[in-house]
Amino acid sequence: MSEMLNDPMLGAGPQYEMTSSGEGSPEGTERMEVSMGPHHPSTHGVFRMDVELDGETIVKLKPVFGYLHRNHEKIAEETSYLGSMPYTDRLDYFNSMTNNWAYTLSVEKLAGFEVPERAEYIRVITAELSRLQNHVCLIGFLVQDMGALGTPLMYAFRERERILDLFESLSGARMMCNYMRFGGCRCDLPQGWIEQAWQVVEAFPRFLDEYEALLSENEVLMSRSQEVGVLPKELAIDAGVTGPILRAAGVNYDIRKVDGYGIYDRFDFKVPLGEHGDTYDRYMIRILEMRESVSILRQALKDIPEGEIVHPKAKSRGLRPPVGEAYGRIEAPKGELGFYLISDKTPQPYRFRVRPPSFINLTILEDMCLGHTIADSVIILGSVDIVLGEVDR
């Protein structure tokens, strides 16, 4: 080895200095700036990464967004409380059910409403179904970014279709469900829905086994994702990262367990944790979370009681909550989704704030990407799981 290094033909390594001014060194190795996006298939929407490269290695990365900004908060401050419900569907448009739940949870805190049993169960069922289809699609997109074009994503979408069919028969819409109401849900489950849901839930673990057999020990997936984009535990907490990425870094923080909002304290489920905080752990954590979601769904579908679905004292139309403020949050599939509302006893909220998980999880994108190649940045971004409707609002 040492002989090779002393070989005059090979030289003693690079003799030039890197410049970022654009003045080329004799070897022609100046840093290059690449603008990834806003229309790049791997950015999952209109999102840009301004990347500075040394060869293929990332030395600087700045996320740029706002292309989809419509000032959702301002719109909501000029609309009635109920009028904002359909807008929340369009934040994270994969998971309108959990968006609805986070918003209605905050309004219930603000107005002091209670929720009947049956509605709580329906909320848990729809939220966990949302989590299943979000995670399965995320994995589909992630392996698509690694080059597995088509097949895994199509498998994921096949499963998602079944869940969207359930949402359609329940709310009339596949993605923009607009289903929950303050103090309950909009309408009761249609006849035969529970049986249909049982079929989907019972078929899901078999699909997961098949999916895992294809992917979990796949050599390409392992070599592209292990040790890539490591997120240290301390940084994750400091940067306010939430959701599967946080738990992949080994922090045991799941709002379903911590807050026990709704009726989550009644269900028996585990919180999977990662060890390395790399992209592979972030992949694996989603598989494990889906298995836990299936377990929650089985318990909820078994125990769901009959009864009313909107609390008689709750009011959706013409709501004027008493003066005050409230912050409510849930464990959405992408992390902590919170709504902060201030009421001045008029039909419109004085302040309406969304705490979007995708947006805040992007804080650490640069830290995870530094030192990796530009091709890895695509995978790291894919494993963060962002939706631009929520980032830009």
Partner 1 sequence: MENTSAAIPDLQSVADTINGAIPGAGVTVVSNEGPSGQDSLLFQNKYAEACARWLKQDSPWKMDYLSNATGIDWTEEALKKKLGKDAEPEATAGFLETVYHLYSMQTSAGPLVFRIRTGNRSDDVALPSMTPIWRSAELQEREIFDLYGIHFEGHPDLRRIMMWDSFEGHPMRKDYVEPDDYEYEPTPHADVLKKSATHQNPSKKGGNQ
Q: Does 323 bind partner 1 (CB under 8 A)?
A: yes
Q: Are 121 and 316 in contact (CB under 8 A)?
A: no
Q: Does 363 bind partner 1 (CB under 8 A)?
A: yes
The piece of 137-145, 224-232, 351-359, 374-382 that touches partner 1 (CB under 8 A) is 351-359
**CB-CB neighbours of 166 under 10 Å:** 23
Please select the residue that binds partner 1; options are 112, 172, 307, 371, rule is CB under 8 A.
112
Q: What angle do CA 93, 369, 42 make, to 5 degrees?
A: 40
Cis status of the peptide bond prior to 38, with omega within 30 of 0: yes
Q: Which is closer to partner 1, CB of 56 or CB of 234?
A: 234
Q: Does 111 bind partner 1 (CB under 8 A)?
A: yes
Q: Does 270 bind partner 1 (CB under 8 A)?
A: no
Please select the residue that binds partner 1; options are 362, 369, 380, 387, rule is CB under 8 A.
362
108-143 core/surface letters (b: 16 or more CB in 10 A; e: else)? bbbbebebbebbbbbbbbbbbbbbbbbbbbbbbbbb
Q: Does 101 bind partner 1 (CB under 8 A)?
A: no
Q: Are 330 and 357 in contact (CB under 8 A)?
A: no
Q: Does 336 bind partner 1 (CB under 8 A)?
A: yes
Please select the residue that binds partner 1; options are 7, 238, 275, 303, rule is CB under 8 A.
238
The piece of 6-14, 44-52, 109-117, 310-318 that touches partner 1 (CB under 8 A) is 109-117
Task: Name which of residues 185 to 214 contact partner 1 (CB under 8 A).
Answer: none
Q: Which is closer to partner 1, CB of 89 or CB of 254?
A: 254
Element (H, E) at 275: none
- 3-class secondary-structure state, position 328: strand
Residue type, 76: A
202-231 core/surface letters (b: 16 or more CB in 10 A; e: else)? eebeebbeebeeebeebeebeebbeebbbb
Q: Does 117 bind partner 1 (CB under 8 A)?
A: no
Q: Does 340 bind partner 1 (CB under 8 A)?
A: yes
- 3-class secondary-structure state, position 180: strand
Q: Which is closer to partner 1, CB of 281 or CB of 336?
A: 336
Q: Which is closer to partner 1, CB of 45 or CB of 152?
A: 45
Taking the C-alpha atoms of residue 340 and residue 214, their distance in angstroms, rounded to an integer, is: 42
Please select the residue that binds partner 1; options are 147, 209, 350, 371, rule is CB under 8 A.
350
The piece of 14-22, 180-188, 238-246, 311-319 that touches partner 1 (CB under 8 A) is 238-246
Taking the C-alpha atoms of residue 388 and residue 201, their distance in angstroms, rounded to an integer, is: 29
Q: Which is closer to partner 1, CB of 158 or CB of 345?
A: 345
Q: Are 42 and 380 in contact (CB under 8 A)?
A: no
Q: Which is closer to partner 1, CB of 287 or CB of 342?
A: 342
Q: Which is closer to partner 1, CB of 201 or CB of 248?
A: 248
Q: Are 74 and 65 in contact (CB under 8 A)?
A: no
- 3-class secondary-structure state, position 248: helix
Q: Does 237 bind partner 1 (CB under 8 A)?
A: yes
Q: Does 109 bind partner 1 (CB under 8 A)?
A: yes
Q: Which burial class, exposed, middle or buried, applies to 363 when counting CB atoms under 10 A from its CB (0-12, 13-18, 19+)?
A: middle
Binding mask 51-70 for partner 1 (x = CB under 8 A): --------------xx--x-
Token representation of residue 244:
């599967």
Q: Does 181 bind partner 1 (CB under 8 A)?
A: no
Q: Which is closer to partner 1, CB of 65 or CB of 280?
A: 65
Q: Which is closer to partner 1, CB of 124 or CB of 137?
A: 124
* Residues lying near partner 1 in the complex (CB under 8 A): 65-66, 69, 71, 73-74, 109-112, 235, 237-240, 242, 251, 253, 258-261, 265, 321-327, 329, 336, 338, 340, 342-344, 350-351, 353, 355, 359-360, 362-364, 392-393
